[in-house]
Amino acid sequence: MDSNELNVSGFAIPPDIQQQVAITSIDKIYNWGRSASVWPMMFGLACCAIEMICAAASRYDIARFGMEVMRPSPRQSDLMIVSGTVTKKMMPIIVRLYNQMPEPKYVLAMGACASGGGPFKEGYNVVSGVDKFVPVDVYIPGCPPTPQALLNGLMKIQEKIRGESIKNSRWYQKGADMVEIPIPLLGPDLIDPRNMTIIKNGEKA
């Protein structure tokens, strides 16, 4: 972000100090800092993870965006990149990791499998999109997406962060620090506890 984007309109800055002085708001300077230091969680599920690794290597260099610090712990992560096929066996672990991430947190669905099941959508053991259980902020199409597509998705995350405000963001309001998602139950099929009432009513019918 250059000084023109950082400045608030309506204030005249003398030309000789325009590169040294900025008149901005709390939201802009705070979100600028957050968007330039997003720490992704270090985990991959399938072939999309190889492309994610390439994006972190020297050729594409996500360090330019302040995102090279991939954390092995969800408690130190800001961004979950779901890179690959999500199986029903893996979904409870993904939800558990999401719940352990501190607010504010973001989810990026990388590739066709994470977004909607991909070529394995009709498989008995594949979840048709990770957004059925956790909220997704950005979707990246492709099978697999290229590192350039991942970089574009990361820039969309940055745009989303820069558009937020302390006044109306959920995690800055009074009350619970975060909304915990119930862990899916792995039985004969993957059961979402949030639909338990519907399932019980269906059994009675």
In this structure, how many other beta carbons lie within 10 angstroms of the beta carbon of residue 53? 13
pLDDT reported for residue 199: 72
d(CA 105, CA 189): 28
List, for residues 126-178, the tens digit of each pLDDT value: 998 999 999 999 999 999 899 999 999 999 999 999 988 888 887 777 766 56
- 36-204 belongs to which CATH class? alpha beta
Residue 23 has pLDDT above 90, yes or no: no
101: helix, strand or coil: coil
List, for residues 39-73, the tens digit of each pLDDT value: 999 888 999 999 998 988 888 888 888 888 888 89
Percentage of the chain surpassing pLDDT 90? Answer: 39
Beta bridge partners of 110: 83, 140
pLDDT reported for residue 195: 81
Lowest average pLDDT, out of 13-22, 23-32, 83-92, goes to 13-22
pLDDT reported for residue 201: 77
Contact assessment for residue 158 and residue 78, using Cβ atoms and an 8 Å cutoff: no
Pairing relation of β-strands 106-110 and 138-140? parallel
Q: How does residue 3 score in pLDDT terms, banded at 50, 70 and 90?
A: low
Mean pLDDT of the chain: 85
Q: How does residue 81 score in pLDDT terms, banded at 50, 70 and 90?
A: very high
pLDDT reported for residue 174: 72
Domain boundaries, given as residue ranges, for the chain:
36-204
pLDDT reported for residue 60: 87
pLDDT reported for residue 182: 84
